[in-house]
Amino acid sequence: MISNLFRTSSWTTALILLLGLNLPLSAQPKSTSKEREALQKTTPALLSVFRDVVAKPSESTVRVLCKTKEVALGTIVSEDGWILTKASQLDGPAVCKLKDGRSLEAHTFGTNEKYDLVMLKVDAKGLKPANWVESKTASAGNWVAAPGLTQDPAAIGVVSVATRDVKVPAFVPSPNSGVMGVNMSPDEDKVKLQSIEPGSGAEKAGLKANDIIKNVAGKDVSDRISLLTLMQKYKPGDEVDVVVKRGTEELKFKVKLGKRSGPNFNRGEMQNRMGSELSTRRFGFPTILQHDLVLKPTDCGGPLVDLDGKVLGINIARAGRVETYTVPTEIVLPLLKDLKTAQTATATPTATTPKEKESPAKEVKKTPTKETKN
């Protein structure tokens, strides 16, 4: 019944939203139409209408905790304990809380950096895996929901933009993360430095244009996205070891990170964050389904479902006030095998087993010749 109820025209949708809000138009807060609509979709009355939709998929959803703190949702992908979640939300050994109340320690297996996905494994049998459906079945305007562990969904909304490829994935770092002060070339398969910002930590340390960054803080980086994702963990003033390839040599530098600057960046970031908390890693995904669910960052990693309760993909990032991204089913399913086999040595959110280096990097020390204030 609910499927027929919500597959309606736009005027009926608007009426349902107003009924769910239980407020006269004059009493609604002053904001843009998109913001009003998004806020209306968070009312308990409207969320309760979707209980039947999320009843079954909520059994395929888990709560992920690190250090007893809720950090993400997860999606069960097989009955024998494999669970997929958002990698960058994890900051230590994970515990998965199931809908039946059990809390199970999780071991970390493979990570896909491009889509910020990580595979966890708990010791359990008889779990209920997600019932997948291709995301192309969800057109713009279709209702969707994010199951949680309660009878109500974590959020509901509509598809804003159908599944699409992002030819040049954007990546907007956190304004509080530290920066080396480098500009990278558009190479997709390596991190080549196009130029160095004057007075930056990179310049003071001795990095040069055309250097290729291979490793930062002991972790290998293979492309721009992996580097930018890694840098989210560090703040201005931190020092990180950077290994670069320069010609035939591998050199090691210690770079002191600086502050991010630029009035346009700060203004845009502030406006985007007004009234909502955004995911730290929220851009740079090559293929996404976009919707307007008002989803908390700690509720990413779980499934996005259609009105039949079938999973369209994994909610991966709250990117804006009324903008949330999902990694679609067509992308997720081909990744599962590799994510299950790439095991790490410990139960941490690290990606894959580090590669053995052919030869140790030569450490270069350089005394700054010029002091520049940030």
Domain borders along the chain are: 2-55+132-167+270-329, 182-259
Contact 332, 129 (CB under 8 A): no
pLDDT of residue 358: 42
Q: What are phi and psi of 136, to 5 degrees?
A: -65, -15
Least confident of 135-149, 162-176, 259-273: 259-273
pLDDT of residue 32: 54
pLDDT of residue 267: 46
pLDDT digits (tens, 9 = 90+) for 58-91: 999 999 999 999 999 999 999 999 999 999 999 9
Residue 20 has pLDDT above 60, yes or no: no
The CA–CA distances, whole Å, from 271 to 274, 275, 282 equal 5, 9, 16
Q: Please state the rounded mean pLDDT for residues 258-271.
A: 56
pLDDT digits (tens, 9 = 90+) for 267-280: 444 445 444 688 88
pLDDT of residue 190: 87
Instruction: Domain 182-259: give its CATH architecture.
Output: Roll (2.30)
Q: Please state the rounded mean pLDDT for residues 191-207.
A: 93
pLDDT of residue 228: 81
- Which CATH entry fits the domain spanning 2-55+132-167+270-329: 2.40.10.10, 1.10.645.10, 3.40.50.970, 2.40.50.840? 2.40.10.10
Q: Which helix (H) or strand (E) covers residue 269, if one does? A: helix 263-273
Instruction: Kindly calculate the radius of gyration of the chain based on its CA atoms and give it in whole angstroms.
Output: 22
In order, the DSSP letters of 271-285 are HHHTTS---SS-S--
Q: Please state the rounded mean pLDDT for residues 3-21.
A: 44
Report the alpha-carbon distance of residue 257 to residue 202 in Å, rounded: 8
Contact 53, 307 (CB under 8 A): yes
Strands 362-363 and 249-256 come out as parallel
pLDDT of residue 85: 98
| Residue 281 pLDDT level (bands cut at 50, 70, 90) | confident
pLDDT of residue 226: 79
- Provide the 3-class DSSP secondary structure of residue 315: strand
pLDDT of residue 348: 36
Residue 259 has pLDDT above 80, yes or no: yes
pLDDT of residue 311: 98
pLDDT digits (tens, 9 = 90+) for 323-364: 999 999 999 999 999 999 976 533 333 333 333 334 455 555
Q: Please state the rounded mean pLDDT for residues 246-258.
A: 94
Percentage, residues of the chain above pLDDT 70: 73
pLDDT of residue 322: 83
| Residue 27 pLDDT level (bands cut at 50, 70, 90) | very low
Calculate the average pLDDT of the chain.
Answer: 81
Between residues 277 and 238, the one the model is more confident about: 238
pLDDT of residue 14: 40
| Residue 185 pLDDT level (bands cut at 50, 70, 90) | confident
pLDDT of residue 266: 46
Q: Please state the rounded mean pLDDT for residues 164-189.
A: 75
Least confident of 103-107, 115-119, 202-206, 218-222: 218-222
pLDDT digits (tens, 9 = 90+) for 288-306: 999 999 999 999 999 999 9
Between residues 9 and 128, the one the model is more confident about: 128
pLDDT digits (tens, 9 = 90+) for 129-150: 999 999 999 999 999 999 999 9
Within the chain, what is the greatest distance between any pair of CA atoms?
A: 73
Amino acid identity of residue 57, one-letter, is: P
pLDDT digits (tens, 9 = 90+) for 30-48: 445 555 555 556 788 888 8
Amino acid identity of residue 259, one-letter, is: K
